[in-house]
Structure 1
Amino acid sequence: MIRVLLADDQALVRGALAAMLGLEADIEVVAEVGAGDEVVPAALRTAPDVALLDVQMPGRDGLAAADLRAALPSCRVVVCTTFGRPGYLARAMAAGAVGFVVEDASPEQLVDAVRRVHAGLRVVDPALAAESPATGRSPLTGRERDVLASAKDGATVADLARALHLSEGTVRNHLSSAIGKTGARTRAEAVRVAEDSGWL
């Protein structure tokens, strides 16, 4: 029996996935959570073999697969999301995920992905894998990504500096560099480009 943990902030999607997987004789859904912060505690309680994690959730996002891998190394992580972006694929794999499936995949493809990763294989959406080498790697450094992500809500440089414990000059430098690397003209445009590429 393959024990599966589902993490998706949309209850309807989570419920549909659980119902679909529950129809399989060799798969049992042992936990369902709606926030990233709930993944590791639920996994430690239920010891799943495979975790299907959405990308964007409250708390920790699904790309923080490294947290789950550190807490429960035997659990294999598959990112299952509507956000099929090369940047997300690259970040998920770097964090330790062994699969990346988009939610519009057929039920058969999702079930096959669960079985394949449980058997020790990697599974990546083919269209995304083909697109990824050209656009997937983020040009942003970790600090540039942090500053740009914090700037999403339009905070001032002073606010960003306080929140990130950096000087205002350092924040300006990181923002300027991120704007240049994304080919944007403004901070807001840089945020949009980075989000669309899956780099934030």
Structure 2
Amino acid sequence: MKLLVAEDQSMLRDALCQLLLMEDDVEAVFQAADGEEAVQLLAEQPVDVAILDIEMPRKTGLEVLEWIRAHQELKVIIVTTFKRPGYFKRALASHVDAYVLKDRSANELMATIHNVLSGQKEYSPELVEEVAFAVNPLSAREREILVLVSQGSSNQEIANQLFLSNGTVRNYMTSIFTKLNASNRTDAVRLAREQGFI
């Protein structure tokens, strides 16, 4: 089988590739240092399984997964250190084949590769638990306002659109910042997306 490993930490990537190449049924392992490089490689090389880190420069693992689903038929395994419900939900929405934590051995990763190639799905139980028990602290109105913030709307534009006063929108924003422990609007949007709250 042919594999792609996309991981921005070169030492980790090299070690993983070496271990995978020691497996009898692994024919080739292509390496990508970031998401953009992963997409370029996938456009040029036929691959059976893509193993993607989430947080990479230029394109995230989730963006590479979405590109693959739009352009190719292959299995995708996301490996991550982050137990973030928002990331997991986005990966599930793109029909990721496996979503596992990085603290696994090469043998466990090979087992996951064989599982997905046989048509099975695999998700780390810790991640499933995080999503199942993640409670959204934002009210429906706060979510509505934060979505408009994420689209670049100012407080006044939000007030006009939702028939609220500017002061009311400011109060909602203060509440959002408090609930998410966010320092500013950009931070609030990022935190809410990571947790799958918007």
User: Do both proteins adopt the same fold according to a TM-score greater than 0.5, normalized to the shorter chain?
Assistant: yes
d(CA) in 2 for partners of 1:137, 1:194: 9
| TM-score, scaled to structure 2 | 0.74
Is the contact made by 2:8 and 2:34 (CA closer than 8 Å) also made in structure 1?
Answer: yes
d(CA) in 1 for partners of 2:42, 2:137: 30
Q: Would you say 1:67 and 2:54 are equivalent positions?
A: no
d(CA) in 2 for partners of 1:138, 1:62: 27
Match of 1:180 in 2: 176
What's the offset of the Cα at 1:84?
2.7
What's the offset of the Cα at 1:26?
1.0
Secondary structure of the residue aligned to 1:26 is coil
Identify if the C-alpha distance between structure 1 residues 196 and 88 changes in structure 2 by more than 3 Å, giving closer, same or farther. closer
Is the contact made by 2:35 and 2:56 (CA closer than 8 Å) also made in structure 1?
Answer: yes
1:46 partner letter: Q
Which ranges in structure 1 are unaligned for 5 or more consecutive residues? 149-163
What's the offset of the Cα at 1:106?
2.1
Match of 2:97 in 1: 98
Match of 2:123 in 1: 124
CA RMSD of aligned residues (A): 3.6
Higher Cα radius of gyration:
2
Q: Pairwise mapping of residues 82-161 of structure 1 onto structure 2 (< 5 A)?
A: 82-135=81-134, 144=146, 147=149
Aligned length: 183
Is the contact made by 1:40 and 1:71 (CA closer than 8 Å) also made in structure 2?
Answer: no
Q: Pairwise mapping of residues 30-69 of structure 1 onto structure 2 (< 5 A)?
A: 30-64=29-63, 65-69=65-69
Identify if the C-alpha distance between structure 1 residues 84 and 22 changes in structure 2 by more than 3 Å, giving closer, same or farther. farther
Identify if the C-alpha distance between structure 1 residues 178 and 170 changes in structure 2 by more than 3 Å, giving closer, same or farther. farther
Which ranges in structure 2 are unaligned for 5 or more consecutive residues? 160-168
| TM-score, scaled to structure 1 | 0.74
Match of 1:152 in 2: none
Match of 1:169 in 2: 156
What's the offset of the Cα at 1:131?
2.7
2:124 partner letter: D
More moved, 43-52 vs 177-186: 177-186
